[in-house]
Amino acid sequence: MVVKTQWADGVEEAGDGKPVRCDFCGTKVPFGAAQCPDCGTAVKAPALVEEKPNWFRRVGAALVIILALVAAWRWGEYYLSVRPKRGADGKPAVEGVTILSQKLDKQPGTALMFVRGTVTNHSDVPYFGVKVECDLLDKNGVSLGKFSDTRMVLDPHKLFPFNIALLDPDAVRYTNLTVSAQR
């Protein structure tokens, strides 16, 4: 009877780093051999794991980075569209048309009076049919009617200097100055 060592030095190991053994006698089998060199039993060769090329990993990593950047860009666009807009002073920006200034002016040498002021369009779109209107009051506070000035179109970020003529000689003051417009 001859006793052989199971793991003789100098015999190659399998490609994945683990030695291949004969299932019948336990002898180390050279990598790639179909039979055991001792007993002749057929040996199952380990399946070779084919390693993916390095460029495949790089393309995958680049794709993940590109998708992350696109997602961040889209989220940023969404965030900017829903957050409240702020003006130069840090307060929320005013949308639409508003009255910036107003005053009551008497025409020198006549009984005519005017309500003069400025309306602005804060938005990025034009407004149509801009109308500034006020109630005219006499010295007892009784309403004498409504007076107005209009402009057909007020372009984005432009001013409309209004001038409401108060033609009633009993008029002393005005109230309820309002502005209306259509988008």
| In a domain? residue 29 | yes
**Residue 101 amino acid letter:** S
pLDDT band at 11 (very low <50, low <70, confident <90, very high): very low
| In a domain? residue 133 | yes
Phi-psi region of 63 (alpha: psi -120 to 50; beta: other; left: phi over 0): alpha
CATH classification at residue 157? 2.60.40.3230
| In a domain? residue 79 | no
Query: What is the pTM (predicted TM-score) of this model?
Result: 0.47
What's the angle, vertex CA 20, arms to CA 6 and CA 45, rounded to 5? 145
| In a domain? residue 172 | yes
> pLDDT tens digits for 68-93?
999 999 998 888 777 766 656 666 55
| In a domain? residue 75 | no
How many domains does the chain fold into?
Answer: 2
User: What is the extent of the structural domain holding 162?
Assistant: 97-182
| In a domain? residue 8 | yes
